């Protein structure tokens, strides 16, 4: 099968060129792997050299991160320091040099670690057609979407309020058995917590009952118990080669407990 690759100077032009049988090329860690393994669903690849895709800057609402920013770039940029541990958890060095923020939003479980962190941080997804979507809305409509992502906007968390844990069989670079991102504003009494789980459903998912259970709670064993009891509600893990859905359900509260108490996972 022959493959057509088209390059456009702006993301808008690339977006106009999207149609059935076409994939947008971010860093290509999944798209090119698909081609190498003989993907039958696309034979046309569209890419863009738009410099805005690699932009990282602060604006009034938080950090603006272009969809083409790589995990390596996140790790090397001072303003994205709170996301560096998440970027470092994605694959090995070769993958991180190519893997983009935009591509991670489309990764299927067990991948999508970076998107899980963005979900806990209430990021906004900026589409190439100018729409802004809350990341939860973006994920709810991701299946079948052909829209291109231009950037994400991420509110910067207060120091120490963001935590991330990735559970793998092979450290440091295995795929997630699950990952957990927690935004825990409020200091000694939590207010407005966000808990997002990766690899516990087809997309990263929030544990909303557990978030509510943390409202006004202290991060001690008694304060977090109701969150642990309810954290699986709404999650939908799958069996895969790494772990069964049963196993994922069994260990998720254990790792959430460790993350909330600040223990080693
Ligand atoms: C060996 C290996 C290890 C990996 N380990 C991890 C891991 O530990 N954690 C993890 O989360 N992921 C992992 N991945 C998956 C993948 O590398 C990452 O999810 C990465 O962030 C995907 O980004 P990309 O730019 O390479 O995506 P691409 O391969 O370029 O694209 C992936 C999908 O996203 C779409 N897409 C890309 N950019 C956009 C955009 N701007 N707008 C709309 N659609 C877009 C593409 O069309 C395609 O459908 C791994 C992959 C490999 C091969």
Q: What is the pLDDT of residues 107-124, one digit of tens each?
A: 999 999 999 999 999 999
- Crossing angle for the helix pair 221-230 and 245-261, nearest 10 degrees? 160
User: Residue 90 C-alpha to ligand 1 middle, in angstroms?
Assistant: 10
| pLDDT interval class at 30 (50, 70, 90) | very high
Same domain, 171 and 230: yes
Could you give the percent of the chain with pLDDT greater than 90?
A: 89
Instruction: Quick: pLDDT tens for 227-247.
Output: 999 999 999 999 999 999 999
CB 51, CB 68: distance < 8 Å? no
- C-alpha 83 chain-centroid distance: 11
Mutate to test the pocket of ligand 1, among 49, 52, 93, 99 (most ligand atoms within 8 A of CB): 99
What residue's CA is closest to ligand 1, atom 44?
A: 148
Same domain, 125 and 204: no
Q: Which of 107, 123, 154 is the last residue of a domain?
A: 154
Same domain, 181 and 122: no
CB 69, CB 56: distance < 8 Å? yes
Count of structural domains within the chain? 3
CB 94, CB 86: distance < 8 Å? no
Same domain, 16 and 60: no
The CATH number that applies at residue 220 is: 3.30.390.50
Q: Which of 86, 119, 154 is the last residue of a domain?
A: 154
Task: Give me the chain's average pLDDT, please.
Answer: 95
Q: What is the pLDDT of residue 170?
A: 87
- Spell out which residues line ligand 1, taking CB within 6 angstroms: 23-31, 33, 67, 90-91, 95, 98-100, 102-104, 106-107, 111-114, 148-149, 175
Half-sphere exposure of 240 (CA within 13 A, CB side): 17
pTM of the model: 0.97
Half-sphere exposure of 245 (CA within 13 A, CB side): 9
User: Residue 97 C-alpha to ligand 1 middle, in angstroms?
Assistant: 12
- Residue 39 pLDDT > 90: no
Half-sphere exposure of 149 (CA within 13 A, CB side): 30
Give the total residue count for the chain: 265
Q: Which of 96, 119, 154 is the last residue of a domain?
A: 154
Q: What is the pLDDT of residue 95?
A: 97
Average pLDDT over residues 22-50: 93
Helices (H), the chain: 11-16, 31-36, 71-76, 84-88, 93-98, 101-105, 113-120, 135-140, 208-213, 221-230, 245-261
Instruction: Quick: pLDDT tens for 127-156.
Output: 999 999 999 999 999 987 779 999 999 999
Same domain, 183 and 212: yes
User: Residue 118 C-alpha to ligand 1 middle, in angstroms?
Assistant: 15
Same domain, 235 and 194: yes
Same domain, 170 and 245: yes
Same domain, 232 and 211: yes
User: Residue 227 C-alpha to ligand 1 middle, in angstroms?
Assistant: 31
Query: In this structure, what are the phi and psi dihedrals at residue 141, rounded to the nearest 5 degrees?
Result: -110, 10
Domain boundaries, position 55: 51-154
């Amino acid at each position: 099968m022959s493959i057509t690759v088209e390059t456009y100077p702006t993301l808008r032009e690339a977006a106009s060129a999207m149609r059935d049988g076409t994939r947008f090329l971010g860093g290509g860690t999944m798209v090119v792997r698909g081609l190498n393994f003989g993907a039958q669903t696309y034979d046309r690849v569209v890419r863009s050299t738009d410099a805005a895709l690699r932009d990282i800057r602060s604006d009034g609402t938080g950090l603006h991160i272009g969809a083409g920013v790589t995990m390596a770039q996140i790790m090397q940029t001072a303003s994205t320091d709170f996301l560096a541990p998440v970027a470092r958890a994605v694959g090995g060095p070769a993958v991180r040099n190519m893997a983009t923020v935009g591509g991670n939003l489309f990764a299927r479980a067990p991948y999508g670690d970076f998107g899980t962190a963005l979900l806990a941080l209430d990021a906004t997804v900026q589409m190439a057609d100018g729409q802004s979507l809350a990341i939860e809305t973006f994920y709810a409509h991701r299946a079948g979407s052909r829209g291109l992502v231009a950037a994400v906007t991420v509110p910067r968390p207060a120091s120490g309020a963001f935590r991330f844990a990735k559970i793998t069989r092979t450290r440091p670079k295995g795929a997630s058995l699950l990952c957990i991102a927690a935004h825990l504003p409020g200091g000694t009494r939590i207010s407005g917590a966000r808990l997002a789980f990766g690899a516990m459903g087809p997309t990263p998912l929030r544990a909303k009952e557990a978030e509510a259970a943390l409202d006004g709670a202290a991060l001690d064993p008694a304060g977090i118990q109701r969150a642990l009891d309810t954290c699986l509600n709404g999650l939908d893990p799958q069996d895969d080669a790494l772990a069964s859905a049963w196993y994922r359900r069994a260990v998720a509260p254990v790792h959430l407990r460790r993350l909330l108490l600040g223990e080693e996972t």
